[in-house]
Amino acid sequence: MNVSVVGVGLHPFGRFDISGREMGLIAARAAMADAGFVWSDVQFAAGGSRDSGRADALVSELGLTGVPFVTVYNGCGTGGSALLTAAQAIESGAAEIALAVGFDKHERGAFGSDPVLYGLPEWYAEAGLMVTTQFFALKLQRYLHEYDLDPRLLAEIVAKSLRNGARTPHAWRRNALSVDEIANADMVNDPLTKYMFCSPSEGGAAIVLASAARAKQLSERAVKLRAVEFRTRKFGTFEVFSPWLAEEITEGPTTHAARAAFEAAGIGPDDIDVAQIQDTEAGAELMHLAESGFCAHGDQAKLILDGELEIGGRIPVNTDGGLIANGEPIGASGLRQVIECVWQLQGRAGDRQVPGNPTTAFTQVYGAPGLSACTVLSR
């Protein structure tokens, strides 16, 4: 892909007194300033938000330039969809400068979902079966059983994310907890305790993309977007909001998206220096590590217990604390992952900077009802 990231902007994640829309505007302006652009330079935009209004309505404050602005929504994967749409506009030649933006501000507590929007009957929700946290637990419980993994690994993952979050100024949860505190906390959906889930939160994120040729003239620190691949589920996968599962369970959308992204980029998981992986809960990180190709299914214990996922480890994962420490403003979350990788590759990650001048990065975002978007980036 001949597309580069030339500017990034983030409104911190957490709880704030301003609207989600304002956080989107702040992030978009920060990204344009980082790139050295003004709004009228932007030739194409894409963005999304679940609860804070239409992304394309940002033009009334950014400026009514007539720019084509596509509003996207793909659940928790919305940020990935915005980036894909903007990147493809550049790759196609339709634009030389494009903006991807996402923002959100959610109510407290787990997301409630309307079965009708997913083509599901009311009784499924009324019986107490249409609950995202329940799905995560059911998928994880089966996974731990099939691969004989110790549930304590989940607490190790969260402890790592919170340690990283404590070093990250834009993160929401900045207090480290011990593995015991996490493992022994109140159970929400067995085997997941309350500290093992991310919470809906607030924030904004924006990325300015340019054609590789244009980026070279603009900035020495531009980061190449080598691949962005998006996949929905194939038959037989185990996804959220499923009243039934097939006789044989097949590889999920992350496996396919990650494989396609590495193929398009021409490098493999072993070449990656830093990664941000969707950790809606600790089990998601556990499973997505293998689905993304960083280890075989069932081999996660070594990565986790030997410290390979730590900042300074072989393949640092969720260096800004991931969703566990940042919470999830749905529209912005997938873009935050890419921004963190860009900062890491540019050496701008402050106290959480991965040592050794990382040159390659990977991101993976997953959303309902079964989709995944992965990117490969390099300096």
Partner 1 sequence: VSTNRSSTTVDISEGPTTKHNGQLVLLGSRCRACSTYEFPPQTSCARCGSKMDATPLPTVGSVWSWTVQRTRPKRLRSEEFEPFAVGYVDLGPLKVATRLSGRPAAEWRIGQPVELATPSAGDTTAPPYWFQPADGSSSISRGNS
Identity at 154, one-letter amino acid code = L
Sorted by sequence, the CB contacts under 8 Å of residue 220 that are 6+ apart come out as none
CB 47 within 8 A of CB 72: yes
Question: Distance (Å, rounded) from C-alpha 248 to C-alpha 237?
Answer: 8
Query: CB-wise, 56 or 281, nearer to partner 1?
Result: 281
Question: Would you state the structure tokens that stand for residue 32, as one six-digit string?
Answer: 């344009």
Query: CB-wise, 38 or 246, nearer to partner 1?
Result: 246
Min CB(182)–partner 1 separation in Å: 17
SS3 265: helix
Min CB(250)–partner 1 separation in Å: 10
SS3 44: strand
Per-residue contact flags (x/-) with partner 1 for residues 178 to 197, judged by CB under 8 A: --------xxxxxx------
Q: Work out whether 199 is an interface residue with partner 1 (CB under 8 A).
A: no
Q: Work out whether 142 is an interface residue with partner 1 (CB under 8 A).
A: yes
Question: Would you state the structure tokens that stand for residue 322, as one six-digit string?
Answer: 């991931």
Q: Work out whether 169 is an interface residue with partner 1 (CB under 8 A).
A: no
| DSSP-assigned beta bridge partners for residue 275 | 317, 362
Q: What is the DSSP letter of 236?
A: T
- Of 63, 121, 169, 347, the residue at the interface with partner 1 (CB under 8 A) is 121
Stretch that binds partner 1, among 96-104, 117-125, 219-227, 341-349 (CB under 8 A): 117-125
Stretch that binds partner 1, among 35-43, 126-134, 173-181, 295-303 (CB under 8 A): 126-134
Sorted by sequence, the CB contacts under 8 Å of residue 68 that are 6+ apart come out as 43, 44, 45, 89
Q: Work out whether 237 is an interface residue with partner 1 (CB under 8 A).
A: no
Q: Work out whether 122 is an interface residue with partner 1 (CB under 8 A).
A: yes
Per-residue contact flags (x/-) with partner 1 for residues 66 to 105, judged by CB under 8 A: ----------------------------------------
Q: How far is CA 346 from the centre of its chain?
A: 19
For 261, list phi and psi in degrees, rounded to 5.
Answer: -65, -45
Q: Which residue ranges make up the site for partner 1 (CB under 8 A)?
A: 110, 112, 115, 121-131, 133-134, 137-139, 141-142, 145, 186-191, 235-236, 242-247
